[in-house]
Structure 1
Amino acid sequence: MKYQAVLFFVLVFNLFASAQDDKPKLVVGIVVDQMRYDYLTRFYDKYGEGGFKRIIKEGFNCKNNHFNYVPTYTGPGHASIYTGTTPKYHGIIANNWYDKQTKKTVYCAGDSTVIAVGTSSNKERMSPHRMKTTTFADENRLFTQMQGKSIGISIKDRGAILPAGHSANAAYWFRGKDEGSFVSSSYFMKELPRWVKAFNFSRKIESYMKIWDTYYDISTYTESGKDLNEFEGGFKGKKTATFPYNLKKLAKDNMGFDILKVTPFGNSIVADFAIEAIKNEALGKDDFTDVLTVSFSSTDYIGHNFGVNSKEIEDTYIRLDKDLERFLKVLDTEVGEGEYTLFLTADHGAVNVPAYLKSAKIPAGYVARDERKEKFNKFLIDSYGTVDIVENISNNQIFLNRAMVKALDLDLEQVQKDIANAQLTYAHIYKVYTATTMSTVFFGDGIERLLQNGYNQKRSGDVLLVDDPSFIAYSRTGSTHGSGLNYDTHVPLLFFGKGITKGHTYKKTEITDIAPTISALLGISFPNFTVGQPLYFIIE
């Protein structure tokens, strides 16, 4: 019996040790800002073998992956990917939103209780405090007794902060203007580590202030529209949005180092910095799994400026592919090939420039907000004798002055319904729903389900508006996002590395499935409000 007990103990210990050995030393989450799924397929022949193609061929491709809420913005996107839940629960309902308690607009990562680190600017006072739930990086920190590191990196503060989580060791983002350096806040640290200071002083960032021309001969860029067209924004100081771009010359009129954000070199800077983080933070070097989150945000700035069908977007993805290749090579060398797990996805897609779609006879256009507002104000005066019954209109939501509704002895639910019915008669309003409906009626599919998943009782408005497909409130050049339509919801989802099987699926997956999948792979608790399900078929 004693022998059997010892044997049982040895078997259990070996199984535990084997499970520990099966864990990746490092999990890398990559988010490509504003990446439509079709960028994988449209530019596929232009990619090399070591970047996107390597991840696809050696990993698992979820080809029918979608966001399951509205609005599809950067802040909610990053939060949802890493928490495994939607704005309904994690609370990041937009990048900026109207706060019903303070009566002010707040920023998803803004935090006046902290100070900036690495810059004297007050604009970098940031933390994840408005995100109500944990990320899988948080859960990994808890599981490893804070031994596993969590570090977030991005051009955008929200792209670095929200994924890394509440308990992160560090989050770094890019401060442009006349500085051109990576910064953080006192939420994470008292001062920048020595290696970060060295990177900032190395002139590496300054070296990208150069000519941006196409990586290959522009005549071979047959997967995008003409270089000279009327659908692109461009840079101040240059008459046309056409290659090449002299960034050093244009920087003065385009907010200094901020111009790099709107070029592929912004992604290169992030890759450079992430590589330095892997080396200097010794990520993946011990027995505790570390988490590195990397968000490539320049793709979003470029899409907003030039549109999804531009030569600039094609060149950006060709260059991003090269950055991914060298990043993977560093992971192979520093962590070990087959010792890390990586996923790649996006925080949202984007609509094609409506003016371009109209030229192709596809229904599309622009919302005349001023005309809509004028008509709505007349309705408010006629119905309630004042426009002040509405406190704010933002993110396609109408916020009522509830104190005034009460003072006028009006029924809140009826006011919501009356406003919804009025809005539904306006040009290019597709659907309208009230907060009462979102709180009391369950929707299992369609745009209604996405609205409900994005509706947060404490933070969202009283009336939710949905514009016509491909109609946007935006400039007539460049692309944007935010809707629940496929061009905004359908994004890549690639898994690669240790513990991941090879293959692909057309089965519908959702962005909230990523966090529980990584958690299951690591054998840790799911983030505390996860609604997604582990994608068991991608795990070996």
Structure 2
Amino acid sequence: MADAAGKAGAGRAPAAARRGPSALAALAAALAVVLAQLAGAAAAPPRLVLVVAVDQLRPDRLDPALPGGLGRLMREGRVYTEAALAHALTETCPGHATMLTGRHPAALGIPANQFFDPASGARLSCVYDPSPAAAELHGEGGVSSAAMRADALGDWLKRASPRSRVFAVAGKDRGAVLLAGRHPDGAYWFRGGARPVFTTSRYYRDALPGWVAAWNGADPPRDGFLAGLPDAWAHGAPGEDAIADDFPGEGTRFSRTSPHPLRARDLERFAEQLYASPFLDELTLEFARRLLESEDLGRGPAPDLLALSLSATDLVGHTYGPASREAADALRRLDAALGAFLALAEARADGRLLVALTADHGVLPLPEWLERTGRATCPVAGSRTSATRLGAALLARLWWRHGPWAAVPRAWVDFAGSQGRVNRTLAEARGVAPEEIVAEAKMLLQRWPAVGRVWTQAEIAAGDGELAELYRRSFVPGRSGDFVVQPARGCLLSYYDTGTSHGSPYDYDRRVPLVLFGPGVPPGRVAGPAATVDLAPTLAGLLGIPTPQDLDGRPLSLAEEAASR
């Protein structure tokens, strides 16, 4: 596993590996960072802080030649070229949660998109809240940041500057909730279903403000925000190096070729197709524009914070892969829409706009694309293995060995992503120690070539090396599984026969863009370790507000001499 650990190691190394050669050198480096932070904060304090998280955006997809907002940030911003997630389970929830808290998922209580309830063993969403006081205004169940065990940048800002306002907007509920922190002025997200709307929950407010209700309309496809959408998504002109539009392995649910149908008579189907198109991000940015104007952000006596999570890149990437024509067209459209939004925000803030661009995770390229281009590293032909088959083999073995034969085989282990949890009630009833089930699961699963390793809780707690440290940062006692499956490098373990995914500790899933732009931020490219947990303390330094003392992240260097052009 030494080779796997080395290849997983893009970005920030564990603390022991980051220690300098001497206390004097470490002190000098720390002093340089502090002085840079103070100088940046004193130069021109921002009136508006804009955090843009692009779901599943790989850094190798960003080109400074792009004419819109993404290209501008790459050209004029401070680009941390080796930025990466500092945890192993590279999923949406922990990725977003780390951005503005400065803490690893282990400290936040957010190990993955879902966690296990310690009492019942049930799988819960990372933004699930059973309280009626958190009921979603349009939807079922409750949504809030109750599961997150720490404050975020917005909370620090409001404590230091009570007149500041904090909002978050996203295509997914978890994107908005985890960026907003615990006590924002508002958090809004897109909710599909029979009546697609942008909504919130009672945790944030009891009713939508008038401007949001007007945006949604009485009948969204006819008089609301969906009225102007086309009937189909047609790609722009492909580049010279574009792959075939109908490429093996692409998802078939929404058509593999342009034009992709968008409007459907069934509104639930309409919403599903919207999620897997670039129009969701365009609508999210338009909603954010109306929020800026309606809430008058960037014009008040104190700095305001607006956090955006743009979710369409993730759905498009999952369905078609990051090298597809669909992904290229979605990125071009996002670049254009973000460019217009940045211009508006900059004008509102009188040029005192501070921007941070990053992502919650990367993604494995489409396995068929890896095979076609000679980039495959998975020991399995085709680079794709059915997680359904793998799980079924495990559960059938456990059922055969331990029974009860009248029960459903699945009852022995439940999976949440790559994590497995033993059914404690069944184990006790059958007189089998949970540790025995974990040992059997580890032995059987590791026989599959697509599985690199199965980590038990004990191995995560006591393991040496970077991979063990990455998994420790993703482990939450009581909420995490009894074991976690690490795929072999380059292998996709998926419940689907098409598309691709993320979730591993390898560089293709952990590497993310990290770009700063605005007052007190010298432009250029900065090499060296940087992580998403470093973003919140860096922004706090630029705002001149205090941070908690026990953060996992540290302020990134803003020294001008550290950047190259």
Tell me if both proteins adopt one fold, taking TM over 0.5 as the criterion: yes
CA contact (8 A) 2:80 2:530 kept: yes
Residues 91-100 or 267-276, more deviating: 91-100
Q: Is 2:414 the counterpart of 1:392? A: yes
Match of 2:234 among 213, 224, 230: 213
Aligned pairs for 1:271-282 (under 5 A) are 271-282=285-296
Shift of 1:254: 6.2
CA contact (8 A) 1:235 1:254 kept: no
Q: Is 2:190 the counterpart of 1:174? A: yes
d(CA) in 2 for partners of 1:415, 1:212: 48
Which residue number corresponds to residue 453 of structure 1? 473
Q: Is 2:270 the counterpart of 1:256? A: yes
Match of 1:304, as an amino acid?
H
Residues 356-365 or 453-462, more deviating: 356-365
Cα gap change, 1:382 to 1:19, in 2 (>3 Å): closer
CA contact (8 A) 2:135 2:143 kept: no
CA contact (8 A) 2:537 2:555 kept: yes
Shift of 1:71: 1.3
**Gapped regions of structure 1 (runs ≥ 5):** 1-15
Structure 2 SS opposite 1:449 = helix
Match of 2:210 among 170, 187, 194: 194
Residue deviations 1:453-512 (CA, integer Å, cap 9, x gap):
111112111122111122221423222111111111111111001121111112121111
Match of 1:522 among 543, 546, 551: 543
Aligned pairs for 1:43-442 (under 5 A) are 44-45=64-65, 47-48=66-67, 50-114=68-132, 119-122=137-140, 125-145=142-162, 147-201=163-217, 203-215=224-236, 217-218=237-238, 221-236=239-254, 240-248=255-263, 250=264, 252=266, 255-337=269-351, 339-361=352-374, 362-364=376-378, 365-377=383-395, 379-380=397-398, 384=402, 390-402=412-424, 416-439=438-461, 441=462
Cα gap change, 1:403 to 1:229, in 2 (>3 Å): closer
d(CA) in 1 for partners of 2:265, 2:310: 21
Structure 2 SS opposite 1:367 = strand
**Gapped regions of structure 2 (runs ≥ 5):** 1-37, 218-222
Match of 2:360, as an amino acid?
D
Structure 1 SS opposite 2:349 = helix
Shift of 1:414: 6.0
CA contact (8 A) 2:261 2:273 kept: no
Shift of 1:524: 2.1
| Aligned length in residues | 509
Shift of 1:205: 2.7
Match of 2:301, as an amino acid?
D
CA contact (8 A) 1:84 1:529 kept: no
d(CA) in 1 for partners of 2:216, 2:429: 56
CA contact (8 A) 2:136 2:200 kept: yes
Which residue number corresponds to residue 19 of structure 2? none
Match of 2:96, as an amino acid?
H
> TM-score of the superposition, structure 1-length normalised?
0.87
Shift of 1:395: 2.0
Match of 2:257, as an amino acid?
T
Residues 176-185 or 265-274, more deviating: 176-185
Cα gap change, 1:452 to 1:310, in 2 (>3 Å): same
CA contact (8 A) 1:31 1:345 kept: yes
Cα gap change, 1:357 to 1:403, in 2 (>3 Å): same
Cα gap change, 1:122 to 1:416, in 2 (>3 Å): closer
Match of 2:292, as an amino acid?
I
Which residue number corresponds to residue 535 of structure 1? 556
d(CA) in 1 for partners of 2:432, 2:258: 59
Shift of 1:130: 0.7
Which residue number corresponds to residue 17 of structure 2? none
d(CA) in 2 for partners of 1:207, 1:491: 33
d(CA) in 2 for partners of 1:252, 1:404: 42
Cα gap change, 1:461 to 1:208, in 2 (>3 Å): same
Match of 1:24 among 46, 49, 52: 46
d(CA) in 2 for partners of 1:116, 1:401: 29
Structure 2 SS opposite 1:207 = coil
CA contact (8 A) 1:307 1:477 kept: no
CA RMSD of aligned residues (A): 2.7
Cα gap change, 1:528 to 1:132, in 2 (>3 Å): farther
Match of 2:526, as an amino acid?
T
Shift of 1:402: 4.1
CA contact (8 A) 2:363 2:509 kept: yes
Shift of 1:224: 3.0
CA contact (8 A) 1:80 1:512 kept: yes
Shift of 1:354: 1.2
d(CA) in 2 for partners of 1:331, 1:118: 29
Residue deviations 1:90-129 (CA, integer Å, cap 9, x gap):
0111222332312311111122314678854325x31111
Structure 1 SS opposite 2:460 = helix
CA contact (8 A) 2:78 2:517 kept: yes
Shift of 1:416: 3.8
Match of 2:475, as an amino acid?
Y
Structure 2 SS opposite 1:83 = coil
Cα gap change, 1:291 to 1:539, in 2 (>3 Å): farther
